[in-house]
Amino acid sequence: MKIPFNKIYFTGNEEKYILDALHSGKHCGNYSYGQKVINLMKSKYEFGEVYLSPSCTASLEMGAVLAGIGPGDEVILPSYTFSSTVNAIVLFGGKPIFCDVDPTSMNIDVNKIERLITKKTKMILPIDYAGIPCEMDEIMQIANKYNLIVMQDCAQSYGSYNRNKACGTQPHLAAFSFHETKNYNAGEGGALVVNVPEWEERAYFLQEKGTDRRLVLNGVKNKYSWVDKGSSYLLSDILAAMLLAQLENEEETKMKRKLITMAYIELFKPFVEQDKIKTLHPKSYQKINHHAFWVIFDTEENKVSFMNILREYDIAAYIGYLPLHSSPMGLKFGYKPEDLPITEDLAKRLLRLPFYTELAETGLEYCIDVMHTVLNKIYN
């Protein structure tokens, strides 16, 4: 049996909605299906305003413009993240200030943020790795104390909660991904959440190539004009139709994926108890969306052996992020690998296991059986 790392999942209504959008006569952004997705997202979660965009990457860029990130502004973020998180600020001249991670979550270590704040700090940019929320209460407290903007990279955490607050509802700005590798898939797609009412109108202009087209659509003006800087940060209605079908099925998808998390936790439990392996484990005050599962082995050698033997059984596991501070671009910013020793060490030993909705229906038992055999081979 072949177990890929990721696989697209259909909930049932995708084709119907896409065909409907296709024949509607309008395929552009902010149209009928787009509005339905926005309404659904806002009725389910207490988001301020929602802007559907081509990707999480684009949403992060919109956020950086709204926050006014400019040359020399410092932004504190984990090094353990995707290039899009950091590029969003580097594109506008911002300087990344990388913070080490908390080994229990692989998210930014909130106890190490304050010491990185200087007069130039403008923003904190945490991410929710593998769908586990970062410690937003503490992050917002620090941000309020120093008057900083918080943009939460929620690429992986749509539908997760921290202390009963849904991811994306607490910061000034939040960016979601609906890429095909995420729980809810539009092919490529994203959303920016703006929780600062004064920034909402500007976000519409920014999304519409710096024009006030929104005011024309709302019947306020006859002709739109160039009013601000901007770009084309819109999601086509055809992709929004796909996304609507996926999001309407959110809870069922989540329930299926939960079975995978539970099975993995159970499998690794004896090794966790013996302190040989650490795994993703939500805290008691977190409810997760079951996006992904990671395992940190005691040694890099054991990780590589596990991954290679799984490959012989046609099971794809994948290394996590390569830390940004020690990447070629990170080195250009003057970082050295030893600057963030915890991130550097954990990244070498972390492995991501196959995780996709259909796995809960087909293949999970096979996966667990093989992994059980391989673990015993390595550790006995």
Ligand X SMILES: Cc1ncc(COP(=O)(O)O)c(C=O)c1O
Q: For 208-262, where are the E strands, in sequence order?
A: none
Sequence-distant (≥ 6) Cβ neighbours of residue 218 within 8 angstroms: none
Judged by CB under 6 A, the number of residues near ligand X is 14
Is the Cβ–Cβ distance between 353 and 295 less than 8 Å?
A: yes
Give dist(CA 356, CA 148) in Å, integer.
Answer: 36
85 versus 261: smaller Cβ distance to ligand X: 85
Is 56 a binding residue for ligand X by CB under 6 A? The answer is yes
Is the Cβ–Cβ distance between 299 and 349 less than 8 Å?
A: yes
Each residue 2-41 as x (binds ligand X by CB under 6 A) or -, in order, gives: ----------------------------------------
Q: Which two tokens stand for residue 108?
A: 């930014």
172 versus 213: smaller Cβ distance to ligand X: 172
Minimum distance, C-beta of residue 282 to ligand X, in the bound complex (Å): 18
Give dist(CA 10, CA 201) in Å, integer.
Answer: 35
Is the Cβ–Cβ distance between 292 and 182 less than 8 Å?
A: no
| CA 188 to chain CA centroid, nearest Å | 13
Task: Single out the segment in contact with ligand X by CB under 6 A; choices: 40-48, 152-160, 259-267, 282-290.
Answer: 152-160
Is 162 a binding residue for ligand X by CB under 6 A? The answer is no
Whole-Å CA distances, 341 to 72, 163, 202 = 26, 30, 40
Is 84 a binding residue for ligand X by CB under 6 A? The answer is yes
Query: What's the distance, Cα to Cα, between the start and end of the chain in Å?
Result: 26
Is 190 a binding residue for ligand X by CB under 6 A? The answer is yes
Q: What angle do CA 242, 363, 250 make, to 5 degrees?
A: 30
Each residue 122-151 as x (binds ligand X by CB under 6 A) or -, in order, gives: -----x------------------------
Q: Which two tokens stand for residue 66?
A: 């709204």
Is 55 a binding residue for ligand X by CB under 6 A? The answer is yes
Minimum distance, C-beta of residue 58 to ligand X, in the bound complex (Å): 7
Task: Single out the segment in contact with ligand X by CB under 6 A; choices: 82-90, 229-237, 286-294, 354-362.
Answer: 82-90
271 versus 355: smaller Cβ distance to ligand X: 355
107 versus 261: smaller Cβ distance to ligand X: 107
Task: Single out the segment in contact with ligand X by CB under 6 A; choices: 79-87, 197-205, 239-247, 367-375.
Answer: 79-87
Is the Cβ–Cβ distance between 151 and 185 less than 8 Å?
A: no
Footprint on this chain of ligand X (rule: CB under 6 A): 55-57, 81-82, 84-85, 127, 153, 155-156, 177, 179, 190
